Amino acid sequence: MLKEYNFKEIESEWRVWWEQNGSNHTDINSFKPKYYCLDMFPYPSGSGLHVGHLRGYTLSDVWARYKKMQGHNILHPMGWDAFGLPAENDAIKKGVHPSKVTKDNIAVFKKQLRSLSTCYDWSREISTCEPDYYRWTQWIFLQMFKQGLAYQKEMPVNWCPSCKTGLANEEVVNRECERCGTKVERKQLKQWMLKITQYAERLLNDLSKLDWPERVKEMQASWIGKSIGAEIIFTSQSQITGETITIPVFTTRADTLFGATYVVIAPEHPLVKELTKPESKSYVMEYIASSIQKSDFERTVGDKEKTGVFTGNYAVNPVTNKQIPIWVADYVLIEYGTGAIMAVPGHDSRDFEFAQKFNLEIIEVISPDGYPSSETHLSLESPCSPLTSPQTLPPLSSPQTLPPLSSPQIPSPLTRGDKGGLQSAYEGDGILINSDEFNGLTVEDGKKAITKHLEIKKLAKFDIRYKLRDWVFSRQRYWGEPIPVVHCQKCGIVPLNETDLPLLLPDVKKYEPTGTGESPLAGIPDFVNTFCPKCNEPAKRETNTMPQWAGSCWYFLRYIDTKINTLPFSPKVNEWLPVDMYVGGIEHAVLHLLYSRFFVKFLYDIGALTFDEPFNRLFTIGMVHRNGAKMSKSKGNVVSPDELLEKYGVDTVRIYELFIGPPEQDSEWDDNGIEGVSRFLKKVWRIAYENLNESFVPTPLMDKRRHQIIERVTSRIEDFRFNTIVSALMEYTNFLSEQKEVDKNSIETLTLLLAPLAPHIGEELWQKVLKKKNSVFDQKWQSFDKDKIIEQEVTIAIQINGKLRGTLTLPLDSTENEVMEQAMKEANIEKYIINKEIKKKIYVKNKILSLSI
Ligand code: ANZ
Ligand code: ZN
């Protein structure tokens, strides 16, 4: 008797059953091997989750269930990244207090995730804006402060005029605020900083320990940006005291020192005033004022025209002893290296562009084959236009004749300009030329030799620099963790006593940003005015709050025991972490994923943890697109899961989420595709209820197919090829549906393999059709027999009325029916039999099928 596939009925039935059985509860102390499967917790925005967001949550849920069936004790928790700009902006838009908005949004998110029947252990839910939680975020900050890793600094920050707050470099994308898209400005502010740079080398090196997508590791490595090079000293004269002053520059190309024809210092360089000739002062100062307004991005991006001014002063090139002009230009950044460079226009395209614009000397010192590109180097002697350089030009040194070459060769036309001279900077590898005693060395040897040569004279040293900057850790906003320090006139910055944590975020009416560079907390006298924990005199509280990322840097440590209130995390954290599988978006490659690693390394260093990497394995889930654009509310192409769940049920939606494409890639949401998945589950249902015959003995082919599907699904799950698992199961289901009767083993296998993807139908078939006790998720994952999956094939001749009409390649031991069925699918054979009565069939197994018609 066919019972209809009524997903509503079975889905609500099993959901209640799982809840009553505590199926998703994790016993931290179980003896089974642990497995920590974690999703990046969401920030609960106002618009709820769309089907694009649900893709990752579905995937991690399938993975968690699969690992459970493999015998692991699964920790699969969920929580909320509740502090920070998104919630606050949403609150301001709605005119509702952020705490209320956050609570409401969390309720919506939670309902949505539950409706997907994700197997989260909700008893471990956390929210970063709860005092019980942020108390420990503040505690970690205090530990960093005590270790000298949190400090204050006056600095130009990226300022979002719309969010009215400073942003970290990582939060600025294409010089726009990552959150709201407004163009970022520069503003001088006193900021709290975290010394993440102290961990640069370890953050870089330890990437090799991680089973992460190469792409993410590369993104982190280039964000950390290690450069091996040298610091080289150029000397000049102070225009104030007349004394010799040194200008250290950082270079990765010490080999090109003979080609350094000018020096550039950043506009913010502390020596600017001292180096500038009095008569150049006015325009130099004017230039500086205009350039410090620009963001680093505007200053350094390639397609922007280079600007700069000549200081009127010269420096000495330490190897040539030539006087070379000192310029101020904003393509040199104060925060990198030493804030000053030796410019080598022959071999650096930025310098080349600059030198061409301002008529500066270009000397070729590296050549691919050891031969110069022309007899004379390029030296523009025409005076440059008054439009581009209002300042006096440095005298150009006279063109040098190149040393004669020992064995003349014909220059390769590929690397040489037709008119002679460099047509552009040559940045490739090669041999040193025009470099006196160093001629003939390779680039690599040249770097070493020149640096060593100057090292003896104390004019150079080998040096390593990182692009990574310290983390701007304060925001001038309301909705964040208050920074737990006070400012005392007598004692300076004083941390709160740990026992006084949490420092509660005061409940206020006015939480809009002030735009003055001060947090709204500064306007609350009750909060601001306090007493110094050290001397008890009146003091003022810090009013900046922590950034969005603070709470998410360590939340994964808290899940082990979310109630503990004597420590930030349970000591069992060392048994349960690192996280075994972390699933989330690639957009977190350099923000959250780097900050979390930093926090964990710090906690390791102070002895709070025994491991120093938070996430062993990372899976980055691709975005869902629709109508050619990334699914997002602003694009108006969002599909809400609610309707689909109502129409098709949870199991179908879950499977479709996985079916749309390879999970690590962006995939297009096809509104019609879900129908096919729905038909698939109905077919599974029908086979189980209609075709199952418990006493039926499966054919060898059925047995083989059963082993094959176990192998296929298992290996594809292991490789995270979830979309192809679905297609394999569909294929298998089609195969079973072609059999008149299906044995119990086949249905059991299908049920067990399908259950992690479609938990309700899995549980239903397991308990109702196969009449098992216990949950399907308490079963062991199926194993297969290696010998049985080998596809042995034979060629079978098809004879009709004594004539050979074709051959078929089929699995060994195919039955007569299977051969017949296949024969009917071959047009060449079918045409002889269609609409004819078959009078006689003789089948010789694995050899021939002979038909008489
Ligand atoms: C001379 C030179 C010759 C350079 C040459 C490059 C090529 P990475 O690899 O990114 O570390 N540089 C140093 N400090 C800078 C600053 N504060 N702002 C802008 N540019 C700076 O790049 C190192 C190179 O970037 C350095 O090596 C320096 O230019 C420049 F054929 O020195 B180089
Ligand atoms: Zn004090």
What is the reported pLDDT for 636?
84
CA 391 remoteness from chain centre: 46
Closest-approaching ligand to the CA atom of 257: 1
CA 542 – ligand 2 centroid, Å: 14
Reply yes or no on whether the pLDDT at 126 is more than 90: yes
* DSSP type of residue 24: T
- 823 or 204: whose pLDDT is higher? 204
User: Over the stretch 679-705, which tens digit does the pLDDT of each residue have?
Assistant: 999 999 999 998 888 899 998 889 999
Q: Which of 190, 198, 219 is nearest to 207 (CA)?
A: 219
Quickly state the pLDDT bin for 94 (edges 50, 70, 90). Answer: confident
User: Which whole number is the average pLDDT over 807-817?
Assistant: 85
Tokens of 126: 């956390």
CA 504 – ligand 2 centroid, Å: 21
CA 390 remoteness from chain centre: 46
Q: Is 762 in the pocket of ligand 1 (CB under 6 A)?
A: no
Q: Is 848 in the pocket of ligand 1 (CB under 6 A)?
A: no
Quickly state the pLDDT bin for 759 (edges 50, 70, 90). Answer: very high
Q: What is the spatial distance between Cα 197 and Cα 34, in angstroms, rounded to a whole number?
A: 34
Nearest residue (by CA) to ligand 1, atom 7, is 348
Q: Is 257 in the pocket of ligand 1 (CB under 6 A)?
A: no
What is the reported pLDDT for 2?
64
Q: Give φ, ψ of 150 to 5 degrees.
A: -115, 125
* DSSP type of residue 433: -
User: Over the stretch 254-264, which tens digit does the pLDDT of each residue have?
Assistant: 999 999 999 99
Helix (H) or strand (E) holding 456, with range, is helix 443-456
Q: Is 332 in the pocket of ligand 1 (CB under 6 A)?
A: yes
Nearest atom (ligand 1) to Cα of 252: 27
What is the reported pLDDT for 350?
94
Q: Which of 358, 349, 363 is nearest to 329 (CA)?
A: 358
State the angle between helix axes of 650-659 and 641-648 in degrees (0 to 180), rounded to the nearest 10.
120
Nearest residue (by CA) to ligand 1, atom 5, is 348
User: Which whole number is the average pLDDT over 210-215?
Assistant: 96
- 386 or 132: whose pLDDT is higher? 132
User: Which whole number is the average pLDDT over 787-795?
Assistant: 82
Q: Is 317 in the pocket of ligand 1 (CB under 6 A)?
A: no
CA 494 – ligand 2 centroid, Å: 7
How many Cβ atoms sit within 10 Å of the Cβ of residue 672?
6
Nearest atom (ligand 1) to Cα of 337: 14
CA 724 remoteness from chain centre: 25
User: Over the stretch 154-187, which tens digit does the pLDDT of each residue have?
Assistant: 887 788 888 877 777 767 887 788 878 888 888 8
Reply yes or no on whether the pLDDT at 812 is more than 60: yes
Q: Is 253 in the pocket of ligand 1 (CB under 6 A)?
A: yes
Residue-level length of the chain: 853
What is the reported pLDDT for 303?
67
3-state secondary structure of 461: strand
Q: List Cα–Cα distances, 73 to 28, 35, 66, 784, in angstroms.
A: 8, 6, 11, 23
Q: Which of 153, 128, 145 is nearest to 498 (CA)?
A: 145
User: Which whole number is the average pLDDT over 90-96?
Assistant: 84
Reply yes or no on whether the pLDDT at 381 is more than 70: no
Contact 143, 486 (CB under 8 A): no
Tokens of 68: 């459970």
Contact 172, 297 (CB under 8 A): yes
Contact 631, 669 (CB under 8 A): yes
625 strand-pairing partners: 630, 668
Domains of the chain: 142-200+471-541 (no CATH), 226-466 (3.90.740.10), 671-788 (1.10.730.10), 793-852 (3.10.20.590)
What is the reported pLDDT for 451?
97
Alpha helices, DSSP H only, in 258-406? 272-275, 281-291, 296-300, 349-357
Q: List Cα–Cα distances, 713 to 221, 726, 730, in angstroms.
A: 35, 9, 11
Percent of the chain with pLDDT over 90: 67
Nearest atom (ligand 1) to Cα of 266: 17
Helix, strand, coil content of the chain in percent (nearest 5): 40, 20, 40
What is the reported pLDDT for 763?
96
3-state secondary structure of 745: helix
What is the reported pLDDT for 614?
98
CA 524 – ligand 2 centroid, Å: 21
Closest-approaching ligand to the CA atom of 536: 2
Q: Is 259 in the pocket of ligand 1 (CB under 6 A)?
A: no
User: Which whole number is the average pLDDT over 304-329?
Assistant: 95
Strands 126-127 and 79-80, how do they pair? parallel
Closest-approaching ligand to the CA atom of 345: 1
* DSSP type of residue 459: S
Reply yes or no on whether the pLDDT at 835 is more than 90: no
Closest-approaching ligand to the CA atom of 487: 2
Closest-approaching ligand to the CA atom of 491: 2
Q: Is 342 in the pocket of ligand 1 (CB under 6 A)?
A: yes
Q: To test the ligand 1 pocket, which listed residue (222, 251, 319, 427) has its Cβ within 8 A of the most ligand atoms?
A: 251
* DSSP type of residue 579: B
Q: Is 443 in the pocket of ligand 1 (CB under 6 A)?
A: no
Q: To test the ligand 1 pocket, which listed residue (258, 341, 466) has its Cβ within 8 A of the most ligand atoms?
A: 341
Q: Which of 267, 287, 288, 298 is nearest to 184 (CA)?
A: 298
Q: Which of 563, 595, 545 is nearest to 83 (CA)?
A: 545
Reply yes or no on whether the pLDDT at 410 is more than 70: no
CA 153 – ligand 1 centroid, Å: 26
CA 460 – ligand 1 centroid, Å: 15
User: Over the stretch 527-573, which tens digit does the pLDDT of each residue have?
Assistant: 999 999 999 999 999 999 999 899 999 999 999 999 999 999 999 99
Peptide bond into 411 cis (omega under 30): no
User: Which whole number is the average pLDDT over 600-619?
Assistant: 98
Strands 667-668 and 793-800, how do they pair? unpaired
What is the reported pLDDT for 301?
64
What is the reported pLDDT for 318?
97
Residue ranges with strand state E in 448-536:
460-466, 471-472, 485-488, 492-495, 529-531
Reply yes or no on whether the pLDDT at 404 is more than 50: no
User: Which whole number is the average pLDDT over 270-286?
Assistant: 95
User: Over the stretch 647-670, which tens digit does the pLDDT of each residue have?
Assistant: 999 999 999 999 999 999 999 999
Phi-psi region of 226 (alpha: psi -120 to 50; beta: other; left: phi over 0): beta
CA 444 – ligand 1 centroid, Å: 16
Reply yes or no on whether the pLDDT at 85 is more than 70: yes
Q: What is the spatial distance between Cα 485 and Cα 503, in angstroms, rounded to a whole number?
A: 9
Percent of the chain with pLDDT over 70: 93
Q: Which of 493, 519, 521 is nearest to 505 (CA)?
A: 521
Q: What is the spatial distance between Cα 736 and Cα 683, in angstroms, rounded to a whole number?
A: 10
Reply yes or no on whether the pLDDT at 191 is more than 60: yes
User: Over the stretch 471-503, which tens digit does the pLDDT of each residue have?
Assistant: 989 988 899 999 999 999 999 999 999 999 999
Q: What is the spatial distance between Cα 464 and Cα 336, in angstroms, rounded to a whole number?
A: 11
Reply yes or no on whether the pLDDT at 525 is more than 60: yes
Alpha helices, DSSP H only, in 26-97? 51-69, 85-94
pTM of the model as a whole: 0.83
CA 493 – ligand 2 centroid, Å: 8
Q: Give φ, ψ of 152 to 5 degrees.
A: -105, 145
Nearest atom (ligand 1) to Cα of 427: 31
Q: What is the spatial distance between Cα 540 and Cα 533, in angstroms, rounded to a whole number?
A: 11
Q: Is 251 in the pocket of ligand 1 (CB under 6 A)?
A: yes
Closest-approaching ligand to the CA atom of 490: 2
Nearest atom (ligand 1) to Cα of 260: 1
User: Which whole number is the average pLDDT over 55-70?
Assistant: 96
Mean pLDDT, the chain, as a whole number?
89
User: Over the stretch 283-297, which tens digit does the pLDDT of each residue have?
Assistant: 999 999 888 777 666
3-state secondary structure of 645: helix
In angstroms, how far apart are the furthest CA atoms of the chain?
Answer: 116
Residues ≥6 apart with Cβ < 8 Å to 181: none
What is the reported pLDDT for 652?
96
